[in-house]
Chain A
Amino acid sequence: MDLQPIWLSLKLAGVTTLLLLVIGLPLAWWLAKKQSVIRLMIEALLTMPLVLPPSVLGFYLLLAFSPQGGLGKWLHEVFNLQFVFSFTGLVLASVIYSIPFMVSPVKSAFQQLPPSLSQASYTLGKTPWQTFWRVLLPNIKPSLLTATVLTFAHTLGEFGVVLMIGGNIPGVTRVASIAVYNAVEQQDYASANNYALVLFAITFVLVAGVFVYNKYQVKSPLV
């Protein structure tokens, strides 16, 4: 079995999850604060990848980043960046596609913390940023872990968006889910089964691991 698609999938999921931790956490925090129409609209927009067919998202990304015109042409000419049929493009598409999996659970967790936690921290003279790192983030750890693992697993399982914007280039954009499809097309069911089984096993272990961890968190009174 050619392991490259598996590695590519893991790499894509890893990079996407890291980027979403950096982008998604402050975004979720901001969204969890007082509601306003702008926040609601942005939240609705961020939730769209959950309900839209991945092909719709992939289609628009393909149009936007096509080197033939507009944004894609400009990015190519000025920064020599090509998003279509490249790994960078896959990362960008995955970040957009998986953003609700990171932002939504983390936002809900922030909202469930009593407002008095931040207030207490502020009266001790701590800035909102110090409060975020030392008080808020550590107290949503289970949700944060769930969001991280779901984002990773969801990115591993991507198909439609990846196919639209990345195509099926071995070693560049042929991730495991595409490799399954490709093998079935070629009636190579043994390979398809191998890739499918590996994907199933990895995601099952990840999701089950989180469930077990959240259920049996250390309950010792000491530290």
Chain B
Amino acid sequence: MIRIHIEKRLKAYNGIQVLRIEKTVTPGSILRVTGPSGAGKTTLLKMIAGLIAPDAGTIAVGDAVWYESAMKINFSPQQRQPGFVFQDYALFPNMTVLQHLQYATQDAAWITRLLAIGQLQTFAHHKPAHLSGGQQQRLAILRALAIRPRLLLMDEPFSALDVKMKTRLIADLLLVIKELNATAIIVSHNQQELDGICNDELVLGGEE
């Protein structure tokens, strides 16, 4: 089980909002996170990844406590190692597609397979500046998968993909997630793109 019970004060246009989340995620499930802009969806993913500290609460994955405010436990992102797909992709401009994956993993066979999943084989030696938006987004997903994460955190991961590519990629992604025995938390605005894929949903509203 992944237990998330956290509180975080967020600065919003109308003052301070408090983000309170209490959610238990079943291992192997795919959770869709939705809510209006500024509700704290990205902040939630970053808190789970250890990139932002909550103000209070607990985050526990299985038996491991990643964050516990009372006991001052706060694992670093390196200790948590989630697969993280950033909304702005966060690709490294100095690295080619292949170098991105080699930076994340030494496993050549796994890299070959990832390139096939993202259909980026012919672009292996291209840097992000020479990839289209959709290709960049696919690379961001592949890089997150490269570390074989047990927890996959994805922030609007399919927003730049056309319908055909999206359908194909999601099908492959589901296979990989199953294979890795991973849990996925996906932030998405588009209800349909994750229809029939997610087993759970978390709606963030933001309270005063």
Contacts and interface: CB of A to CB of B under 8 A. Distances in A.
A and B assemble together = yes
Contacts of B94: 135, 138-139, 141
Nearest to B126: A221
B38 interface: no
B200 interface: no
Q: Bin the interface of chain A by size.
A: 20 to 34
Contact of B76 (A114, A122, A135, A222): A122
A222 B146 CA distance: 22
B185 to A, nearest CB: 13
A163 to B, nearest CB: 42
B22 interface: no
Given A117-B92, A119-B86, A125-B147, A223 B77 contact: no
A39 interface: no
Interface string A117-146: 101111111110000001100110100000
Contact of A123 (B83, B91, B96): B83
Contact of A139 (B50, B76, B92, B143): B92
A222 B77 contact: no
A135 B92 contact: yes
B72 to A, nearest CB: 20
Interface residues of B, number: 31
B74 interface: no
A222 B126 CA distance: 5
Contact of A122 (B51, B92, B126, B129): B51
B147 A124 contact: yes
* Contact residues of A: prevailing secondary structure: helix
B81 A116 contact: no
Contacts of B127: 221, 223
Contact of A221 (B90, B92, B130): B130
B50 to A, nearest CB: 8
Contacts of A126: 78, 103
A134 to B, nearest CB: 7
Contacts of A127: 78
Contacts, number: 67
A149 to B, nearest CB: 20
Contact of A120 (B86, B125, B126): B86
A213 B132 CA distance: 26
Contacts of A123: 49, 51, 77, 80-84, 144, 147
Given A116-B86, A119-B51, A119-B77, A124 B126 contact: no
Nearest to B52: A119
Instruction: Give the most central of B50, B81, B92, B93: most A CB within 10 Å.
Output: B92
A120 B90 contact: yes
Contact of A223 (B49, B86, B92, B96): B96
15 contacts: A116-B90, A119-B77, A122-B76, A122-B78, A123-B49, A123-B51, A123-B84, A123-B147, A125-B81, A125-B147, A139-B92, A139-B93, A222-B125, A223-B96, A223-B127
Given A125-B78, A134-B103, 4 more contacts: A116-B90, A119-B51, A135-B92, A139-B94
Interface of A: 114, 116-117, 119-127, 134-135, 138-139, 141, 221-223
Interface of B: 46, 49-51, 76-78, 80-84, 86, 88, 90-94, 96, 103-104, 125-127, 129-130, 143-144, 146-147
